[in-house]
Chain A
Amino acid sequence: MDMETDESVKRVQVRFVTQLDQKFKVPPSTIALPSDLTRLGLSSVVNNLLKAVVSDWEPEPFDFLIDGELVRMSLEEFLVAKGISAEKVLEIEYIKAIVPRQHEDPFLHDDWVSAIDGSNPGFVFTGCYDGVGRIWKGAETCTHMLQGHSDALTSLCIINGKGSEDGNNISVATASKDRTLRLWQFDAEGAMKHPATVTASKVLRGHSAAVECVSSQKSGNMVCSGSWDSTINLWKASLSEADGDLASIKKRKTSGAVNESQSEGEAVSTLVGHTNCVSSVIWPLDETIYSASWDHSIRIWDAETGSATWTMFCGKVLNCIDVGGESSALVSAGGSDGTLRIWDPRRPGTLAPVYQFSSHTNWISACKWHKKSWFHLVSSSYDGKVMLWDLRTAWPLSVIDSHSDKVLCVDWWKGDSVVSGGADSKMCIASGISVK
């Protein structure tokens, strides 16, 4: 560490603290640091301190928090910007810096990857514009192909049901531009010869235009979907034959002359209120549905009564919505400009966003909160970038630039990886994102 800084540089009294493991702890002494240090300088200081304790210390990047805000400029600028006195001993908390490790070989698809779900740690589930859903087991090989849709998949979700918990039976729902939703059930572990073709166990018809989004209830009993016909339909997610038998018809597939019997389902109820395409729905709680639409509104629906309890107009076309953050109450949404906005619906009287992240230069196609962290979310944009955000700083934590075209979908996987799919027909994985 270079301590020979000339006297003209201001010095700040600093003490480093951390909530990391014992091996990351530095002696709690106060040291004077030149105030023009940036994150990199601070990180090297901490690494040197750690090296003094453990001789064979592998340097590791750290990120630094002052008063709950990430340091993204020099210390002096930060102190001036936040109005913090440089006289006192500054307490700097350090956390592990997020450096996503990008996998070398992307997973190639036949067409644009339009939907992705990483909620099951065992596999990544992608939807493609060729109408096929794919299961990528362990992010290595494609084990299952869900064939049946006649048009591009737009959205999909893994239904958190009893089946997925107790065993290998996994049920998923997909939405497509062919105006239908399909429910699938397959054994994730089962098929050894790959890729196994899976056919839909249930077809949900009811939308009169392309279905844009699908989301399952937390309990896994219901599925909701939003469509270009500006309605949200609620469907039963159970695959029991009882109601499936009712509408068993013979269907001629375009791909081949395969006759197969499929059970069909009808919408339980329809939520009417949006005036334009419903681009995204989220069903995080059993009774609350969040939806974003091209009519510039975000609505919160009561699933029981089917009425909108909260409506907010933001003036821009919205493409994605997610709920998370502090007590899973913050609503993040992105749309037809490069700004990711986060609202707090609990805050009365105001409809102004709580946070705005505007580093993207094009439409935002998807955004997802981290399941565990209150601070982290990931967003993908048509500018070909996936950005990791921390609520504590206005700059992106990290920019994953692995796609060469529009990124259409993004999700967290296994808590420390980000999976994304784009118009370059690739599914990319960036791992090593340690979010605490």
Chain B
Amino acid sequence: MELKVSKKATMATTKKKNSKKEKPENTKEIPKNTEEKKNTKKEGKDNKNLQKNKKEKKIRSSLQKIKLRDVEEEEKAPKNSKEYTEGGDSEHTSGDEVHVNAGGVSSNGTIVARAGSDANTSANDDEDNSYHSAEESDSSEDEVAPRNTVGEVPLEFYRDEEHIGYDVTGKKIKKKERKDQLERFLSSVDDKKSWRRFVDEYNDEEVELTKDEIKMIRRIMKGKTPHAEADPYAPYVDWFDWEGKGHPLSNAPEPKRRFIPSKSEAKKISKYVRAIREGRITFDKPKEKPRFYLLWGDDSSSSEKTRGLSYIPPPKAKLPGHEEAYNPSLEFIPTQEEINSYQLMYEEDRPKFIPTRYTSLRSVPAYDNFLRERFARCLDLYLCPRVRKKRLNIDPESLKTKLPEPKDLKPYPTTCYIEYKGHTDAVVTISTESSGQWIASGSTDGTVRVWEVATGRCVRVWEVGSDIRHVAWNPLPHQPILAVSVDQDVLILDTGLGSEEQQGKIRDLLRMEKPTAESGEAAIVSWLPDDKLGGLRLKHFKSVTSIEWHRRGDYLSAVIPAGESRAIMIHQLSKKGSQRIPFKLHGLPVSTAFHPSRSIFFISTKKNVRVYDLLKEKLIKRLDTNLREVSCIAVHPGGDNMIVGTREGKLCWFDMDLSSTPYKVLKAHSKDITNVAFHRSYPLFASCSEDGKAYVFHGMVYSDLNKNPLIVPLRILQEQKGKGVLDCKFHPRQPWLFTAGSDSVIKLYCH
């Protein structure tokens, strides 16, 4: 029974949602031995309380008594259920008394206490009912069964029903009859305890809170511990025994992970190894430290300084030299005369420092220019440019045009092998015979000579008088005759180098019975036989500077620069006649040329070159050099290209199909170009100048019209210094060049 009562009490407390602390306390009370212990403890506490109460004043004493009695009741309750219920009643009274106390009644304390003590006998009807029902339910089921029979079903479902939930057998549990509002009010008016009652709808019962439950609620509402005896500030009892304990906090053995290799680390390492192998991770090579510090090195060249702001090195101060030593060698010491001469110099030319000798370093005085020099240095630093110069880093080689190597363009004349010596004065002009066996030359010593090319032997000499301007071999191989322009005459000379029948023909050709004196041109040209030299003499009215054979060897053009409208004459050998060219001349003619294969005639004046068609007698083209003065022209054997040498040392290559302006202008010589020449069969051309040099070029003309001519300078043939080269001619069959110089020697350059 005791147990049951206690359980009932606990049930009630839980339903009132009190703190759970009470529950374990109650359950602990069940085993007997613990119960005894607790009792003794509580008694101790009670004693304390009692002692406290004694000290309190009279007003408070009643309250204390109530409390004291409450505790006592609690202690008694588990022992006797009847007492408990009685106590419950008494509580009501005491509760009232409390209220009364609030109203200021203190004398009732004793009554309450008495009522409490008499609670055993007194009984109430209401209480009995509840008591019985509880008892029944308890008897029917031994163990704790939920009183709630509806579970979590909302109570509204049962609002209009007669019953609430079902019991084990499935019978409806009937709702208790409720008092209506009026009855309730009336009963509450009668009953003082009614304020402590409320309806537990789930369990369908009226619950009346006990006094100490109310107290507990009140304490909770005040924020105190629900049980008054619980001391939140109990002194700390250190249960741990500190001495004599040798063990660490954790005595666990060393974990396995501490001594086996880590798998995650192994994974990471293998990942790095793979990355290194695949080259995703590269290691910087350790920087090589320069072995020596470049004391005088240029600061700007160091690569480390390029990072960040660019470092502009300060201008270097002049390094001290030997003369600035305190005891320099004697050769540094200026003599007194030199020192005196310094005084005559301008301030800025004067040496800044005059070396002097001292016997020891000790005797060197303070440097008197120190401040001035320091100031100048500061000025230097201050005024030095703070802008870095941007230098274009272009390889100069890459700017050059790609030209084939000269050694790939062999053969071309390179070395002088044979010298033709015999003239006593400057050789003005040379001409090669078409077979290449002979060469003719004219010199200012008044002779015309014919040389054997292979041996350098002079074969024939003619004394023709001074001022030989031009010699020209007849281009026909079977007509070895030579045209020489001497002052105002043109001589046609028989060289006698042909075979007998050729000589016979030549003699016939050059035979003239009587001098021609045609009416119109009589004043200009007259043909005379020259018995002394064995040829013809064509007298002109002015001096002839240049002659040129037509390719068929019959016509001969002569340039008479002072001749104005009759400045260019064309002579015909077979008819012994002369005629003017049917074109109007513009400017002073310099040189003429026949086209190598067509009837086209080139006349160069000082400014430009005009190309005429001889058959149609009209101007075809005008080539402008845009240079100062043309001195010589040469026509490529193909006939479409032409080189023009000028008096300012420039060489113009004209591609006549391309344009009337030069295709290329070569600045080769430093002085006047005296002559230019094309080779007849090899892709070579040459120029010679008064600066004593002859240039050999590779001049390839392609038959493909889309391809421009290729011009490559090959070789500079250096003559003696100060001696101009007055003429150059190519050997007609070999890649050899003849040059005639003012040193009276003709030279042959062979490949």
Contact = CB atoms under 8 A, between A and B. Distances in A.
Interface string A250-284: 00000000000000000000000000110100000
Interface in A269-314: 276-277, 279, 294-295
A317 B436 CA distance: 12
Most buried by B among A114, A209, A406: A209
B437 A210 contact: yes
Contacts of A362: 417-418
B520 to A, nearest CB: 42
A351 to B, nearest CB: 17
Interface stretch (B27-35, B83-91, B450-458, B591-599): B450-458
Contacts of B410: 315
B454 A319 contact: yes
A406 B437 contact: no
A336 B417 contact: yes
A414 interface: no
Interface in A384-436: 406, 408, 423
A179 B496 CA distance: 13
Nearest to B414: A337
B411 interface: yes
A24 interface: no
B708 interface: no
B169 to A, nearest CB: 131
Interface residues of B, number: 18
B750 interface: yes
Contacts of A408: 455
Contacts of B733: 276, 294-295
A382 B418 contact: yes
A381 to B, nearest CB: 10
Nearest to B437: A228
Interface string A74-97: 000000000000000000000000
Interface in A315-337: 315-317, 319, 336-337
A316 B499 CA distance: 28
Contacts of B435: 209, 228, 277
A406 B499 contact: no
A317 B734 contact: yes
Contacts, number: 52
A112 interface: yes
B417 A316 contact: no
Interface in B433-474: 435-437, 454-457
B457 A337 contact: no
Contacts of B454: 279, 319
B360 to A, nearest CB: 50
A423 B436 CA distance: 21
Contacts of A210: 437
Given A228-B437, A277-B437, A316-B751, A382 B499 contact: no
Contacts of B499: 179, 208-209
A363 interface: yes
Contacts of B418: 362-363, 382
A423 B437 CA distance: 18
A129 B457 contact: yes
A423 B734 CA distance: 24
Contacts of B417: 336-337, 362-363, 382
A406 B734 contact: no
A336 B751 contact: yes
A337 B734 contact: no
- Measured as residues with beta carbon below 8 angstroms from the partner, the interface class of chain A is 20 to 34
A423 B456 CA distance: 10
A337 B457 CA distance: 19
A317 B411 CA distance: 12
Interface string B390-428: 000000000000000000001100010110000000000
Contacts of A363: 417-418, 750
Nearest to A277: B437
A426 to B, nearest CB: 16
Given A209-B499, A277-B437, A382-B418, A317 B750 contact: yes
B651 to A, nearest CB: 28
B455 A336 contact: no
Interface in B590-626: none
Interface string B727-743: 00000011010000000
A90 B374 CA distance: 77
B271 to A, nearest CB: 59
B24 to A, nearest CB: 115
Given A294-B733, A362-B417, A408-B455, A336 B411 contact: no
A277 B732 CA distance: 13
Contacts of A179: 499
A177 B667 CA distance: 45
B498 to A, nearest CB: 9
Contacts of A276: 436, 733
Contacts of A208: 499
A152 B499 CA distance: 15
A96 B411 CA distance: 42
B742 to A, nearest CB: 24
B750 A423 contact: no
Nearest to A111: B457
A209 B437 contact: yes
Contact of B734 (A112, A279, A294): A294
A15 B456 CA distance: 52
Interface string A60-84: 0000000000000000000000000
Interface string B705-734: 000000000000000000000000000011
A276 B418 CA distance: 20
Contacts of B734: 294, 317, 336
Contacts of B436: 276-277, 294
Nearest to A152: B457
A152 B459 CA distance: 10
A95 B455 CA distance: 38
Contacts of A279: 454
Contacts of B736: 336
A210 B734 CA distance: 18
Interface in A127-181: 129, 152, 179
Nearest to B478: A208
Contacts of B437: 209-210, 228, 277
B450 to A, nearest CB: 13
Given A208-B499, A209-B499, A294-B734, A112 B457 contact: yes
Given A112-B455, A277-B435, 8 more contacts: A208-B499, A294-B436, A294-B733, A315-B410, A319-B454, A337-B417, A363-B417, A406-B456
Interface of B: 410-411, 415, 417-418, 435-437, 454-457, 499, 733-734, 736, 750-751
20 contacts: A112-B455, A112-B457, A129-B457, A179-B499, A209-B435, A228-B437, A277-B436, A279-B454, A294-B733, A315-B410, A317-B750, A336-B736, A337-B417, A362-B418, A363-B418, A363-B750, A382-B417, A382-B456, A406-B455, A423-B456
Interface of A: 112, 114, 129, 152, 179, 208-210, 228, 276-277, 279, 294-295, 315-317, 319, 336-337, 362-363, 382, 406, 408, 423
User: Ordered nearest first, which 7 A-B pairs have the shortest CB separation?
Assistant: A336-B750, A362-B417, A208-B499, A363-B417, A228-B437, A179-B499, A276-B733
